[in-house]
A and B are shown apart, each in its own frame.
Chain A
């Protein structure tokens, strides 16, 4: 049975982001930007060339990472192509 083609499922939206930049906003004060390589049913994600932003009391801490597996449990929002920097 096929669904209405005008309706885009959330998983299809994420699937379209594979290979491109994605902005991941976590529950709590953490955000990541990286190239999406893949994801599973839990929306655990494999990301490459990642910049991790941790908002602490002393300001924003930035960490660069080559390749990560991100646990989907704490993901709040996914923004295709987005970035926490306005530029």
Chain B
């Protein structure tokens, strides 16, 4: 499922992604310099299986392999490391992060956050 390339997700059109797709007012609005518009649902499809960093509002960071995300932004991670104040606190084989934990952002690429 992670094999979907950027090119195909672009050609399959952002509106095909279902429930969270927005109603785009004009067809031409995407042409203002963007090469690949990707709404959150398309983006999640692209990064499933990739190593990600999940940062909660509390500042706690979870790093692991993204297994799945649902409409509530509940997140399932594999081989998860819990970082508190930059230090690894715990390890989990499988972790489920409940969506309303104020999960502020999901970062792709493990190296980008210390």
Spell out A's residues near B (CB within 8 Å). Answer: 9, 11-12, 15-16, 18-20, 26, 28, 30, 37-42, 44-46, 63-71, 73-74
Contact B40 A65 (CB under 8 A): no
Using a Cβ–Cβ cut-off of 8 Å, how many residues does chain B contribute to the interface with A?
34
Contact B57 A44 (CB under 8 A): no
Report if A38-B37 is in contact (Cβ < 8 Å); known contacts: A19-B32, A64-B112, A68-B108.
yes
Q: Which of B21, B29, B105 touches A40 (beta carbons < 8 Å)?
A: B21
Tell whether B77 is near chain A: CB-to-CB under 8 Å.
no
| Complex partner residue of A15 from B24, B33, B104, CB under 8 angstroms | B24
Q: CA of A16 to CA of B108 in the docked complex: distance in angstroms?
A: 25
By the criterion CB–CB under 8 Å, are B32 and A67 in contact? no
What is B's interface to A at a CB cutoff of 8 Å?
14, 20-22, 24-25, 29-30, 32-44, 57, 73, 102-109, 112-114
- Contact assessment for A15 and B25 in the assembled complex, using a CB-CB cutoff below 8 Å: yes
The answer on a CB contact under 8 Å between B104 and A40 is no
Q: Choose among B24, B33, B113 the residue that contacts A19 (Cβ–Cβ < 8 A).
A: B33
Q: Shortest beta-carbon distance, B109 to chain A, in Å?
A: 5
Complex Cα distance, B40 from A28, in Å, reads 23
Q: How far apart are the CA atoms of A28 and B57 in the complex, in Å?
A: 9
A42 to B67, CA, bound (A): 22
Q: A19-B34, A38-B43, A70-B104 in contact; A9/B109 too (CB < 8 A)?
A: no
